Amino acid sequence: MENISNTANLNVRVDATLKQESDMLFKDLGLNMSTAINMFLTKCVKTASIPFKIEEPKPSRKLKKALKEADYMIKHPEKYKGYNNIEELFEALENDD
């Protein structure tokens, strides 16, 4: 654990939107801004590089479109045919021209 008397303040100016998005990401990863920056700086010093990436995967445009379509289908089930079993589905597929 770090000794509070052995710390220094670091003031960094960043875009407000970037800070907000970073705060949300770090929260999702169980971190705060200070911890994330300390992790980054420690790893940089130990490897003498910018060595790693911590990321939350972002969905592709195709996945976003599919999720939007699925959400619409859930909200409007009356527009879609449902089946009680696999036999009903296959029968409908065979009779569909």
User: For 8-37, how does the pLDDT look when each residue is reduced to its tens digit (9 = 90+)?
Assistant: 999 999 999 999 999 999 999 999 999 999
User: Whole-angstrom Cα distance, residue 50 to residue 80?
Assistant: 51
pLDDT band at 3 (very low <50, low <70, confident <90, very high): low
pLDDT band at 97 (very low <50, low <70, confident <90, very high): low
pLDDT computed for residue 82 by the predictor? 87
Does the pLDDT at position 89 exceed 80?
Answer: yes
pTM score of the predicted model: 0.51
